[in-house]
Structures are given as C-alpha cells and as structure tokens.
Amino acid sequence: MTRVLSVTSECVPLIKTGGLADVAGALPGALAAEGVEMRTLLPGYPKVMAEVGRRRKVAEWDDLFGGFARVYRGKLGDQVLYALDAPHLFDRDGGPYLDSHGRDYPDNAERFAALSVAAAMLCAEGVEGWFPHIMHCHDWQAGYAPLYLRELGASDRVASLMTIHNIAFQGLSPASMISRLGLPRSEFNERGYEYWNNISALKAGLVYADKLSTVSPTYASELMTEEYGMGLDGVLRERQEDLVGILNGIDEALWMPPYKSPSGKAKHRAALRKEFGLPEWPGPVCVLVSRLTEQKGIDILLQALPALLDRGGQLVLLGSGNRDLERAFQDYAEAHSGVAATIGYDEALARRMIAGGDAILVPSRFEPCGLTQLYGLRHGTLPVVGLTGGLADTVINASPAGLAAGAATGLQFHPLTAQALAQALMKLVNLYQDRDTWTKMMKNAMAAPVGWDQSAATYAALYAEMVRPG
C-alpha cells in the first residue's frame, strides 16, 4: 500500500475558500479504493482545532517560527487528519489567508513555511511509526516542503509531488526573509527559488519536487505558455516531462441531483423562479455561482447579457468579489425583471440554483479545472464555458459534430470575449427551443463521468511510479 501525506492549507468540510478544499477533502477517500493510504496535514485554524481537539499529540516543536507548535491526530470521516496547532500562527478570527478586513496577514510567509516545515519533518521522521512514501504538496502554501525535505536529508527516501491548483497565487516574499524562513541562501538564484529578486514559495515547489501535476490536461499545456504561466512558464517548460494534468472530480454522492431524469427539473425551475420573483418567460433560466472577478469573465458576461435577456432568457446570480461588478449586477437586477442577484455565498442556495437552472454560466478567462461546470453536468444544468483549462476538457461542445454524434453536454465559446459569449447565449436559447435536442443534451450531461474514479486511478499510478526503491 502506498502511503501519502497530503499537505494543504484548506480542506472541506473544515475550511474552504475555493476548489482546493474540495479536492483535498475528496482525495483520501477516492484513493483508498486504489490501495493508497493518504493522511492529510492541515493548519490548526480555530475550526480545525474545534473538530480535531487536542487529544492525541503526535509531534511537537518548542519554537516553530516564533512559538510552540504541536501536531494532533484526528479524523475526517474515515480518514486520518493531522492538525498543526500553532496558535501564534493560526488562531485568528479572519480567514485562512486574510484578516477580518480582507487584508493579507503580514506573516503569511512564516505561517505557511511552518506548514511546510512540519510536513517535511513528519515525512523525514515518521509519525506514530507511519512513514510516508510520498509527500503531496498543494499550491504555494506547501511550496517550501520539498526543499525543506531535501535539507533534512530525506528526499532520497520520500518523493514529493507538487500540484498547482492556480498558478496566479505564488507566495512571494522579499529576499530579506531568506534566513527567517530557514532557506538555503545558495539556492536563491534563477534556477532555484528566486523570482525577480523575491522568494517564490510556488517556484520552490516547482523546482524541488520530484513530479509536478495540475488539475486538467489543457491547463498543463496552457501553463507552459507566456499567456497563462504567470512568469513561471519557463520553469514548467524545463520540467514538462515531469508535469501531468489530472482532472479534478466531485463527490457524486454529495452532489446527487434531487431528480433522476431531465423531466424532474421542471418543478425545481419553477421553485427557483418563485424564490426570486422571476416571471414565467419562454427562455432558459441561467445560473451563475462564482467569485465576481475578471478572471471569472464576469465583466464580459455583463456586456453579453442582453443577448440572453432579449430572447426570453433569465439570469440568477450568486457571488461576491469586485465591488464594481457587485454593484453592476445589483443595478441590473433592479432595472430588469429577468435578473436576480444575491451578493455573498450560501451553499444551500447554490445547490437550489444548480438544481433549478437550465444552464450554468462559467465564462472564465482561465480556469485550471473548475468544479462548477461539473456540478452543472451532474444536474443536467448545461454548462456554457470559455474554451480554457479544465472547462475545455470536461464539456463537450454543441458544435455541429457534437450534436450530430449525439454527444454534446454544453456550449463552449472562443475567443474569450463578450461578443463570443453573446453568440453562445443566443445559440443556447435556440437549443432550448428544440426540446428533443435539449433533453438529449441533459441526458448526456447527467451521464458524464464527473467523479473521482478515473482521476484517482491516475494519481495512484503516478504515486506508484514515484515510490523510492528499498
């Protein structure tokens, strides 16, 4: 059995800001069926410590970046969870990365270097007699761990995998922090962890890990281009033989639709319209559950929206982010009876929207994998997506070929512009009027493989390839 320590800064159901948490929460269970024993190391945020408690201490340090720290063992369902209890770093009222005013914690570099150090130490020394074969690091928050593992002299026994969930976040720190972070000064160069005279936690992971992965095959290709690589494309091109794209999945039991066939959606659509006071119009009800940012293409949706509304379509929006975009959609909802906007996030409401909507809009400019379109597919809520990243890999376009083959599950648009999105929305309305075609697409979507089976097998094979001999 392959033993893996997963090192992550968030994990459902304990702490979540994005898709990383869903993946970290789902992987241990999905991999168990593949003969992989995965345990998860998570910072001891207040919610995490409330769940894990301080009952079983398995490691401790008197001084971990300015204070004592202990690792406690707990359970996350049937899986083992290790919580790094370092109150001086993680016992805070805000979120995992931002304070209650929405600002980065000034010591984020030390906070997540501590997570990386703890991970490397547990791998090097074992924990409760359990010695991992693989250290699986997620995003910049665990980026230093492969380098720390090497400095501990354990990288010849324990292999490391670095997964990029979103390369836009790189964990940059000034060079003056090299000593503070316990990094080898000799490695502060172009081929090491230096990034334009700064320290990059993510680059450290990309340089020193044995293998690299990201969350879709298309995003893996995109990352090696200047447009998408965020300044790290050269590093990734050099390591392309070590880079693999493995699609995320979703927990199919957790996202079970409240109906078994397309005909069951009608009452949920009616309930959604009633909840938001939308009139009975002839076009599709489109839903959007998203951060309201330009990365997510929300600005181009604002420009393209008349193409949907003028043809009898409607929009129900749930999200938060850019204040100007929040206000723009609130103003739109006040002025137009076909638009409803809720600023914020509500998991139960998101589920009702996905169940009741006819289509789900994901107009992202870039999207490493995306989970929203997978939730849509599961519910027969047809995705309208930009042709990028995991959106390109998971949605079969209603092109003439896709429709002729009876395989289409949604709509893709390219280029990633308001005009191209408007054309896709017009096509969506036309398809909605063709009830036979629409029903076929719903059936295709609901039958699409969106779970973890195939991806878990791919991860297991990658781990097996990485295990050190002996």
Residues annotated within a binding site: 16
Strand partners, 410: 397
Q: What is the H or E stretch that residue 113 is in?
A: helix 108-125
Q: Tell me the two tokens of residue 117.
A: 């150090």
One-letter identity of residue 341? A
DSSP 8-state code for residue 75:
E
Which segments of 357-399 does DSSP mark as H helices, in order? 372-378, 389-394
Contact 151, 192 (CB under 8 A): no
φ and ψ of 57, to 5 deg: -80, 130
Q: Residue 11, exposed/middle/buried by CB under 10 A (0-12, 13-18, 19+)?
A: buried
Dist CA 410 CA 396 (whole Å): 6
Amino acid identity of residue 83, one-letter, is A
Euclidean distance between CA atoms 252 and 132, whole angstroms: 29
Categorise residue 136: left if φ over 0, alpha if ψ from -120 to 50, beta otherwise.
beta
Please check whether residue 164 is in contact with residue 109, taking contact to mean a CB–CB distance below 8 angstroms.
no
- Cα–Cα–Cα angle for 22, 170, 93, rounded to 5 degrees: 60
Bridge-based pairing of strands 339-343 and 314-321 is parallel
Q: Are 278 and 317 in contact (CB under 8 A)?
A: no
Q: List phi, psi (to 5°) of 360.
A: -120, 130
| CA distance linking residue 39 with residue 135, whole number of Å | 10
Contact status, residue 242 vs residue 160, Cβ threshold 8 Å: no
Q: Supply 412's token pair.
A: 């893709």
Binding residues for ADP-alpha-D-glucose are 16
Give the strand pairing for 69-76 and 57-61: antiparallel
DSSP state of 142: G
CA dist., res. 398 & res. 215, Å (int): 24
Residue 316: exposure state from Cβ atoms within 10 A (0-12, 13-18, ≥19): buried
3-state secondary structure (DSSP) of residue 86: coil
